[in-house]
C-alpha cells in the first residue's frame, strides 16, 4: 500500500504533459502539504521544469503581500515564467516520445 495521496498517485504513471497539467491544476493546499513527495516524483522522472515551477509557486504562495493585499511582481513573474517553461518542456518531451 502506498503512502502517496491518490491525487498525487494518479499522476505517477503519466508523462511530462500530464505532470505539467496536474501541477497547474493542483490545489495549493496539496502542493504545500505534499511538496516533498511531489518534488521527489518530479526529480525521479527528470522533470526539472516541473521542479522549477514548484519552487516558484511555493515562493509566491509564501511571499509577504503588499499593503494592498497584492503580491509583489518579483514573485508573480517567476511563476508565470516557470509555468511557460514547464509547458514548453512538456511539449518538447511529448514530441521526443
Chain position carrying cell 516524483: 41
Of 60, 65, 96, 51, whose CA–CA distance to 78 is shortest?
A: 60
Higher pLDDT, 94 or 86: 86
| Single pTM value for the model | 0.87
pLDDT at 8: 73
Model confidence over 35-88: pLDDT tens digits?
999 999 999 999 999 999 999 999 999 999 999 999 999 999 999 999 999 999
Q: Scanning the structure block, which residue is given the C-alpha cell 504562495?
A: 61
Q: How far is it, in rounded angstroms, from Cα 41 to Cα 24?
A: 16
Amino acid at each position: 500500500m502506498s503512502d502517496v495521496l491518490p491525487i498525487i498517485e494518479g499522476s505517477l504513471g503519466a508523462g511530462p504533459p500530464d505532470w505539467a497539467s496536474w501541477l497547474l491544476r493542483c490545489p495549493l493546499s496539496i502542493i504545500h502539504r505534499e511538496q516533498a513527495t511531489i518534488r521527489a516524483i518530479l526529480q525521479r522522472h527528470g522533470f526539472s521544469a516541473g521542479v522549477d515551477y514548484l519552487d516558484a509557486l511555493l515562493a509566491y504562495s509564501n511571499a509577504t503581500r503588499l499593503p494592498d493585499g497584492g503580491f509583489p511582481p518579483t514573485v508573480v513573474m517567476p511563476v508565470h515564467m516557470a509555468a511557460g517553461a514547464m509547458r514548453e518542456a512538456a511539449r518538447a518531451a511529448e514530441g521526443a516520445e
